[in-house]
Amino acid sequence: MTEPMQSGGHIAELQELLKTGGYYFGEVDGKYNYLTEQAVKRFQQKNNLTANGVVGYRTWNALALLYENVVSPQKHKEGPQGKVTILVDLNKHQLHILDDGKVFKTYPIAVGKPKTPSPAGEYKIVHKAINWGTGFGTRWLGLNVPWGIYGIHGTNNPGSIGRAASHGCFRMFNRDVEEIYPWVPIGTRVIITGYTPGFKGFNRPLKMNSSGQDVAVLQYRLKELGFNVDYADGRYGGNTEFAVKLFEAYHMLPVDGEADMEMLQRLNQYYEKKAP
C-alpha cells in the first residue's frame, strides 16, 4: 500500500471491478486501503501475476478481461443488439454507433489538429484496455492504422471535446467511451470519413506494401468509382492492386497494378468528373 493513501474515481472503479469479480468485499469508497490491496493481490494471484498489490499495466489488462467476461455481458443488453459498426465524421466531430447499419447513438468527439490530423479510412478495433496509459481517460479502443498508434479513448481534458484538438486520436467524454466500450468487440469495423488535412495530394507512386493516408485516399476513390476495393485501410495489398489493374485496363493504361503518377493523375481527373 502506498503512503499517503491513493484515492479517486479510478480507485472506486477498481473496487467495483474487483467486487463484481468476487475479489473485493469492502465498501466502494475510492480509497486504496488494506482491503483493496488484499483484493488486488487475490486477483493477481488468480491470474498468474506478481501478487504485490500494485496495479500496473499487466494488472489493468487482466482487469479489462474481467470486465469483458463479467460486466460487458450485462451492459451489452442495454446497447445495440445487431452488428456494431463505428462511423466517425471528422467534419462534424461526431462518432456514431451503428446497429445493423442504422444509427443507434451519436457522441461528440475531439479529432486531430491540422498539424496532427486523424486518419481517414476503414479500420478495425484491435486492442481494448481500461486506464491504458496517461492522458487517455478511462477506456482505450485501439485501431489497426498502419502508420501510427491511433485509437478511440477517454480524456482528462473534457473541454477539448467538439474541437480539432488531439494528436490524431478520437477523444470522447469518459462517460461516453465507458458506455460504448462493452458494445464494441475486437474486430469491430471503424469507418472514418471527412476532411483530411494530412492529405496534400498524391506526391509519390504507390505499389504493393505501400501504406499511408494517400493509400487510403486511393482506395476510397477507387471504391467510390465502382472498382473492387473492400476496405480503405491505408494498406496497399492484393485487393488494391487488383482494383488498380481494373482501373488501368478501363483507361487503357499499362496494366501492372502499380499506381504510378500517370495513373494517379488520371484517377484525379476521373474522380472529379464521376464521383457523387
Active site residues: 153, 169
Q: How far is CA 264 from CA 207, 215, 216, 253, in A?
A: 12, 11, 13, 11
3-state secondary structure the chain: CCCCCCECHHHHHHHHHHHHCCCCCCCCCCECCHHHHHHHHHHHHHCCCCCCCCCCHHHHHHHHHHHHHHHHHHHHCCCCCCCEEEEEECCCCEEEEEECCEEEEEEECEEEECCECCCCEEEEEEEEEECCCCCCCCEEEEECCCCCCCEEECCCCHHHCCCEEECCCEECCHHHHHHHHHHCCCCCEEEEECCCCCCCCCCCCECCCCECHHHHHHHHHHHHCCCCCCCCCCECCHHHHHHHHHHHHHCCCCCCCCECHHHHHHHHHHHHHHCC
Q: Report the distance separating Cα 201 and Cα 119, nearest Å.
A: 15
Answer for the pair 170, 123: CB distance below 8 angstroms, yes or no. no
